[in-house]
Amino acid sequence: MDHSQLAATFNKDESRVTWHDETLWWVRQKRDKQAHQLPEWERLRETASRIKNNVLSNLSGYLEEFEANAIKNGITVHWAADGKEHNAIVHSILQKHGVNKIVKSKSMLTEECHLNEYLHQQGVEVIDTDLGEYIVQLAKEPPSHIVLPCIHKKKEDIGELFHQYLGTPEGNADPQFLTNAARLHLREKFLTRKIAITGVNFAVAETGEFVVCTNEGNADMGAHLSDVHIACMGLEKLIPKRKHLSVFLRLLTRSATGQPITTYSSHFKKPRKNQEMHIVLVDNGRSRQLGRPDFRNSLKCIRCGACMNTCPVYRRSGGHSYHNAIAGPIGSILAPNIDMKDYADLPFASTLCGSCSNVCPVKIDIHDQLYKWRQVLVKDGHASIVKKLGMKGMTFTLSHPAVFNFAGKAGRWVLKHTPFVVNNGFNPWFKQRDMPEPPKESFAEWYKKAVSNQQ
């Protein structure tokens, strides 16, 4: 199933779609409020973007520096070419310790590598401890958002899941009550599991330390109570110096949820006495993406999720419609690098309105890259798929008024100011007909004005 088919499934429940749309927009507005409080916001984004340019231009050097420092700190460093090797490394550490039950805090990388499924097949029980991830795990679903994993679920769904798996009273869907039930249940897991896996938000070349950001405290509960801490990271997470954390920590959570910072920004530098600490550095297509000049900027991503919250298509099609661990605009750039054929539909799941690029804290040119992927996909012989999907993409926006309204406003601007973006050989809508002159106002805007003028 491709994006527009999956989106159609999501769209069957109209009131839920509206809720999803409005909730994510509310998160986007919280982000705006935080950003507007900092007069230096744009300069901060520029600084972050330029630090990441430096990282990409010297990634091999920073990786070697990071590795040497981490080893000096007593951490074991592993390198994995792909998801398969990553999973095997993690499993070998578990085997060495004879452990088959572990806790894991949020890591989109392990989602990308399908670690849970792999370990499950090896007879290992993995418990995701981030509340949102725990919920989707109970539901046997993947996360639908990188920061808000169960944003597609209503509290009643969650109440039902907890009733079934944790024995909470039937019909109780109170967020406070359910959170506390999960707290009690997972506390026992933290206390009894010997190995904890965490993700990594930033790794510092200069010091060999890594930083993990959570609001819940689950990464810390897992890591500090474990005998063995395994941190899994994509190799683009490197930053040169500890001091640079100031820039990224200021941007990350303001962009993600509109908080000034996450509750916990934990800096792991050395294992505890008698503890083992491992880092798995994972490539999985990243070095290839680095070699694509048009797309390498996608490796600057700090996974804040702002591009999803603002995306009119994401908000109304849901994360699962992207059939990839990372959904939304950034996921649609990363996925075709991993498999062009399987993900040929994703760069078309966009109106190219540019809202994603405007909010991105590291200034990735997201919508330009989506547009460029469309060209590559055609050139590489996915033209027939492209035509089919291109038409469907149009169908998706045309049949969803909210997306169309938003896309329409942006679209008219695009048509007026940059006609070449839309009027090109790659937009199949174009092949049979000429693009009409963009009206100055859409019918809806005109109608609103006409009505208020009458009053």
Partner 1 sequence: MSRTSILQSIKANQPSFVEAPEVENFAPAFDDAVEKYIEVLRGIGGTLHHVESDEQIISIIKAQFAEAKRIVSDLPGMSSIAQTYESGDGHVFEDVDLFIMDSNLAVAENGAVWISDNEIKERVLPFITQHLAVILDKKSIVPTMHVAYDIIAQKDYGFAAFIAGPSKTADIEQSLVLGAHGPKTMTVFLK
Binding site for ligand SF4 (CB under 6 A): 301-307, 330, 359-362, 364, 366
The binder of 407, among ligand SF4, partner 1, none, by C-beta within 5 to 8 A per type, is none
- Is 313 among the residues that bind partner 1 (CB under 8 A)? no
Task: Report the alpha-carbon distance of residue 213 to residue 200 in Å, rounded.
Answer: 8
Find residue 198's DSSP bridge partners.
231
In this structure, are residues 112 and 83 in contact, taking their beta carbons and an 8 Å threshold? yes
Sole binder of partner 1 in the list 225, 340, 376, 383 (CB under 8 A): 225
Rank residues 79 and 429 by Cβ distance to partner 1 and give the closer one. Answer: 79
- Is 9 among the residues that bind partner 1 (CB under 8 A)? no
- The burial class, CB within 10 Å (0-12 / 13-18 / 19+), for 194 is middle
Task: Report the alpha-carbon distance of residue 181 to residue 172 in Å, rounded.
Answer: 11
- Is 78 among the residues that bind partner 1 (CB under 8 A)? yes
**CA angle, residues 330, 430, 341, in degrees to nearest 5:** 40
- Is 53 among the residues that bind partner 1 (CB under 8 A)? yes
Burial 414-427 (b: 16+ CB within 10 A, else e): bbeeeeebbeeebb
The binder of 409, among partner 1, ligand SF4, none, by C-beta within 5 to 8 A per type, is none
Rank residues 23 and 405 by Cβ distance to partner 1 and give the closer one. Answer: 23
Compose the 142-161 pattern: x for residues touching partner 1 by CB under 8 A, - for all others: ------xxxx--xx--x---
In this structure, are residues 189 and 103 in contact, taking their beta carbons and an 8 Å threshold? yes
Q: How far does the chain reach from its first CA to its final CA, in angstroms?
A: 49
The binder of 303, among ligand SF4, partner 1, none, by C-beta within 5 to 8 A per type, is ligand SF4
For residue 333, the minimal CB distance to ligand SF4 (Å) is 8
- Is 171 among the residues that bind partner 1 (CB under 8 A)? no
For residue 81, the minimal CB distance to ligand SF4 (Å) is 23
Rank residues 44 and 386 by Cβ distance to partner 1 and give the closer one. Answer: 44
Rank residues 302 and 403 by Cβ distance to ligand SF4 and give the closer one. Answer: 302
Task: Report the alpha-carbon distance of residue 29 to residue 321 in Å, rounded.
Answer: 24
Q: Which of 395, 348, 350 is nearest to 376 (CA)?
A: 348
Q: How many residues does the chain have?
A: 455
Find residue 144's DSSP bridge partners.
none
Task: Report the alpha-carbon distance of residue 106 to residue 102 in Å, rounded.
Answer: 13
- Is 194 among the residues that bind partner 1 (CB under 8 A)? no
For residue 402, the minimal CB distance to partner 1 (Å) is 19
Rank residues 305 and 319 by Cβ distance to ligand SF4 and give the closer one. Answer: 305
Query: Where are the extended beta strands (E) located within 142-275?
Result: 195-198, 202-204, 209-214, 228-234, 238-239, 264-268
For residue 92, the minimal CB distance to partner 1 (Å) is 12
Q: Please list every residue from 243 through 302 that binds partner 1, using CB under 8 A.
A: 243-247, 249-250, 257, 259-273, 281, 283, 287-288, 290-291, 293, 296
Q: How many residues bind partner 1 (CB under 8 A)?
A: 92
